[in-house]
Amino acid sequence: MVERKGMHRIVSHLILILGCALVLLPIYIALVAASHEAAALTGDTPLWFGGRLLENLSSVLGHGLQAAGGAPVWRMLLNSLFMALGIAGGKIAISLTAAFAIVYFKFPGRGLCFFLIFVTLMLPVEVRIVPTFEVASNLHLIDSYVGLILPLIASATATFLYRQFFLTIPEELLEAARIDGASPWRFFKDIALPLSRTNTAALFVVTFIYGWNQYLWPLLVTNQESMYTVVMAIQRMVNVPDAPVEWNLVMMTALLALLPPLLVVLCMQQLFIKGLIEQEK
Amino acid sequence: MQEKRVVFVKPRTFWLAVAFVLPQLLVTAIFFFYPAGQAILGSFFMEDAFGTSRMFVGLSNYETLFTSGDYLHTLKVTGVFSVAVVLVSMGFALLMAIVADQALSGARVYKSIAVIPYAVAPPLAGVLWLFLFNPSGGAMTQLMASFGITWNYRLDGDQALLLVIIAASWKQISYNFLFFLAGLQAIPKSLVEAAAIDGAGFWRRFATIVFPLLSPTTFFLLVVNTIYSLFETFGIVHAVTSGGPAKATETLIYKVYSDGFIGLDFGGSSAQSVILMLMVVALTFLQFRFIEKKVEY
């Protein structure tokens, strides 16, 4: 280490502490608000905790917000979970197989397949939102889990990641497998799949967060309250017509909505960083 | 394209290969190529609000966009918004990463805190900051009032834009921080130490050695952050300001949505989609030029 002077270290810590305080500020205030009753938040926001955290929690989970339709938040959390798991699982499944086919088979149109998948890189659903919605509605996917999940699972990045990884698997492994008479399916199942376990786990973490945090697509594709996801529903709770916003309950819902991805990021930090950084290589 | 020497080529493996790529291709075709084609096609037509008839109008949808003050205003708002978000979040993250790159005690705690915003969905980030800046008694509103600043983003367009910029930048700090930190850690320590022995101070070493070596990371992040600020921030704008007041926070992506789903102007919305697609293609192209360069050196 180059810098050893005490002053430099103190300044460094100060910068980091200030930065972290700024990062934590909105979450701290949300937690404080979620622990008060609605009346305590009508004037100035209190800066220290109240005693109603659990009451607010159970009221939100069970009854939601009356002014915003009163759909219970536990249902939205469950919908979000289904959507996130579906998107993560679906992305991984179709990317894994597509990459395997492109790397390990020689068939007519292989280059074209690679190209077709690859050009979808980085073109987010937001850009082509109106026609994509029309497709979903023509296929009767509105208000269904399939409609929430399917349009979002095509992913060039994941396919590319698996392709890069398969290219690093030594050729000798396939040679040996073929000498032993292994079929392509057998090679996929017993060798390629287990070898890509760490990559898959890292990818799962990142795509789970991606899926959970979807907003525009669920907003369009769900009409029934029973299909709402928690991230999209928050907007209806803040923009209630002709009624004061129940900030304590809104903040409680917001915290519930950010908790699952937060736990994933914190508990699986190594995997998460690996997945994030490798995805962009 | 890189290839394997040993592959499955037997004709009877053909159908297995097809079965393996087909799911991905189908999803891509149905939810990517077809809608993208529809957007391009639709941008040349004018459709009535009920979707019963449409008429070929050539480039008139595009012409309308670029001659209307509305779209030019949105372009300007998006420009200000994007530049601000990219600069603020990258600047802040770079500062944190430079400091965290040293062997400080508690570095792991700092890092864990810095990754938190990544987990927060954009609209949630928007709502959290909205609460802080809530005109009736938000914590920041109180603070500003004690300095004599009147804050009401619902009436003041500039304040509304500032609010969405803050929320959008906050959300992106983690991503930039992690990439800057990884970039910094890849710089050989011996280079920095040699400069230190020659008597270069911390900031001089940063300006002449660290920052130039960090430029591939910086460039990559510039592209990714631009794309983020153009598209993923939809949730923040939609949940916090709905483009208001008086369209002061209406970004390009928000306009595609509001013209298409609220205004029911499919031709105009399609033309905007096409323009956005071209922007992403250009940015992706930039990105690839950069990846090629990185491989070379």
How confident is the model over B227-254, as pLDDT tens digits? 899 988 999 999 999 887 889 999 999 9
- Report the alpha-carbon distance of residue B137 to residue B114 in Å, rounded: 28
Q: Å from A262 to nearest chain B CA?
A: 5
A77 to chain B, closest Cα gap in Å: 14
The residue of chain B nearest to residue A268, with distances taken between CA atoms, is B112
pLDDT of residue B1: 62
Q: Going by CATH, does the domain composed of B61-296 fall within 3.40.640.10?
A: no
- Whether the pLDDT of residue A263 is over 80: the answer is yes
Query: Does position B24 have pLDDT exceeding 80, yes or no?
Result: yes
Q: Please tell me the predicted confidence (pLDDT) of residue B39.
A: 85
Tell me whether B35 touches chain A (CB under 8 Å).
Answer: yes
Q: Does residue A142 have a pLDDT over 70?
A: yes
pLDDT at A4 (0 to 100): 60
Binding-face residues of A in 20-59 toward B, CB within 8 A: 20, 22-27, 29-30, 33, 41-45, 47
The string of pLDDT tens digits covering residues B127-176 is 999 999 988 888 898 888 889 888 898 899 999 999 999 999 999 999 99
Instruction: Kindly list the residues from chain B whose CB atom is less than 8 angstroms away from the CB atom of residue A178.
Output: 6
Identify the residue among B26, B31, B146 best suited for mutation to test binding to A, counting A beta carbons within 10 A and taking the highest: B31
Instruction: Please give the C-alpha separations between residue A254 and each of A74, A242, B71, B185, B231, in angstroms, as whole numbers.
Output: 13, 21, 33, 35, 22
By the CB < 8 Å criterion, does A265 face chain B?
A: yes
Confidence check: pLDDT of A245 > 80: yes
Model confidence at B55, pLDDT cuts 50, 70, 90, reads confident
User: In chain A, which among 154-213 make CB contacts under 8 A with chain B?
Assistant: 154, 159, 166-167, 171, 174-175, 178, 184-185, 209, 212-213
Q: What part of B 113-132 touches A (C-beta under 8 Å)? A: 113-125, 127-132
**Dihedral sign from CA coordinates of B150, B153, B154, B156:** positive
| Exposure string over A216-227, b if 16+ CB within 10 A, otherwise e | bbbbbbbeebeb
Q: What percent of chain A has pLDDT over 70?
A: 96
Handedness of CA B51, B57, B59, B60 (dihedral sign): negative
Residues of A within 8 A of B25 (CB-CB) are 98, 113, 116-117
In this structure, what token pair is assigned to residue B45? 């037509």
Q: Which of A189-198, A271-280, B117-126, B236-245 has the lowest mean pLDDT?
A: A271-280
Find the CB nearest A94 among B27, B125, B193.
B27
> How many contacts (CB atoms, under 8 Å) link A and B?
307
> Among partner residues B28, B39, B231, which is closest to A126 by beta-carbon distance?
B231
Chain B interface includes A138 (CB < 8 A): no
- For A59-71, what is each residue's pLDDT tens digit? 888 887 777 777 8
- pLDDT value at residue A177: 87
Residue type, A209: I
User: Lowest-pLDDT range, A12-21, A148-157, A207-216?
Assistant: A148-157
Residue A1 in this model has a pLDDT that exceeds 50: no
pLDDT tens per residue, range B68-110: 888 999 999 999 999 999 999 999 999 999 988 887 788 889 9
Q: How far is A151 from chain B (nearest CA, A)?
A: 6
Question: With an 8 Å Cβ cutoff, is B88 touching chain A?
Answer: no
Domain A6-279 belongs to what topology? MetI-like fold (1.10.3720)
Q: Identify the band that residue A261 occupies on the pLDDT scale cut at 50, 70 and 90.
A: very high
Across the range B268-276, mean pLDDT stands at 88
Average pLDDT, chain B: 87
Please tell me which residue of chain B has the smallest CA distance to A116: B25
B49 and chain A in contact, CB less than 8 A: no
Minimal Cα distance from B113: which residue of A? A20
User: For residues B207 and B199, what is the distance between their CA atoms, to the nearest angstrom?
Assistant: 14
pLDDT at A123 over 60: yes
Taking contacts as CB-CB distances below 8 angstroms, the residues of chain A near B18 are 101, 107
Domain ranges of chain A: 6-279
The length of chain B, given as a count of residues: 297
For chain B, where are the E strands, in sequence order? 45-47, 54-56
For chain B, the domains span 11-42, 61-296
Residues 6+ apart with CB under 8 A from B195: B204, B205, B208, B209
Mean pLDDT in residue range A5-12: 82
**Residue-averaged pLDDT of chain A:** 86
Query: Given CB atoms, is B180 within the 8 Å cutoff of chain A?
Result: no
Hey, is the C-beta of B16 within 8 angstroms of any chain A C-beta? yes
Write the DSSP string, B122-169. HHHHHHHHHHHT-TTT-HHHHHHHHTT----TTT-HHHHHHHHHHHHH
Q: Which of A24, A116, A239 shows the shortest C-beta gap to B113?
A: A24
CB contacts, 8 Å: B21 with chain A: 97-98, 101-102, 113
Confidence of residue B297 (pLDDT cuts 50, 70, 90): very low
| Cβ separation B121–A114 shorter than 8 A | no
